[in-house]
Amino acid sequence: MSQMPAAVSIREVGPRDGLQNEEPIPTGAKVRLLDALSGTGVRRIEAVSFVHPRAIPQMADADEVWRQAGKVDGVRYSALVPNTRGAERALAAGFTEIEVVVSASDTHNRRNVNRSTDESLDDIAELIDLLHSAGARAEVIVATSFGCPYEGDVDPGRVAGIVERVVRDGADRVAFGDTTGMGTPRRVRELVTAVRDREPDVPVLLHFHNTRGTALANLLTALELGITEFDASVGGLGGCPYAPGASGNLATEEAVHMLHDMGIDTGIDLDALIGVAELAEELLGKRLPSGVLRAGPRTRLTARP
């Protein structure tokens, strides 16, 4: 096995990517979740997305959520935007780390934003210039990087070509979304290798779903490849509203539990994180899929009879 990194950076995406695939909850509940996560030691949180309320009604109150949220020093908060209008709203709200999504699959991209992948890339080039002119950093997330629910397999070379284009256009970093949980360790290895062959220096983050039970295996493979930045969602909240059956982000507490047992630091308090997962269940009024939430950490022992 390759040498493991000493530390990993996890971006908590439950408040945005998690909640956008759930039944809408009140603004105050979203703020409670965001503020609770800010107190776990997590250093990066995807807080909201600035999208049209008809497209994602769960994010209709993004401005108010962000206004009410307690911003903790040392935590980097980011927002996702679909277009220039969303970027202008995010900048006006004070965000300096902003993400935009393009799908590697044309079909998924059209379902998502009603444009081809190439058309979205043209828009993103202009959006990157807008963000940089305002002093913000631009991250491009490539959705369906490991497969598309409409088209099937996605060629890693196509994803690498998209990365080459957005880096040329000024993207500060890239992320790869396993939008429908089609990723496997083999596909993770092939994708990371293809991207590094073309753009070895671009900062990379991976976003796994556990739809088919492979998220932790994929995470381990990525660690062996030297990747140290990942998305995860408290309790396993969320999925993708434009990808049928794509529920189940990698649960943050499952990732942290495994990483800590491997001696890899995340800076996150696992007990506090499990408490937030319990809060998320309470706020949503439903059972969440995280195994660590159900069973507790491996250090939680059952009393002897």
Give the residue numbers annotated as catalytic, written as ranges: 240
- Residues with Cβ within 8 Å of 264's Cβ and at least 6 positions away in sequence, in order, are 4, 5, 6, 7, 8, 223
Cα dist. 22→28, 68, 122, 141, 290 in Å?
16, 21, 31, 21, 16
Transcribe 222-261 into DSSP letters.
Answer: HHHTT--EEEEBGGG----TTSTT---BPBHHHHHHHHHH
Give the separation between CA 144 and CA 180, rounded to whole angstroms: 7
* Ranges assigned E (strand) in the chain: 9-12, 44-49, 76-81, 97-103, 137-143, 173-177, 204-207, 229-232
- Residues with Cβ within 8 Å of 251's Cβ and at least 6 positions away in sequence, in order, are 210, 232, 233, 234, 235, 236, 277, 288, 289, 290, 291, 292, 293
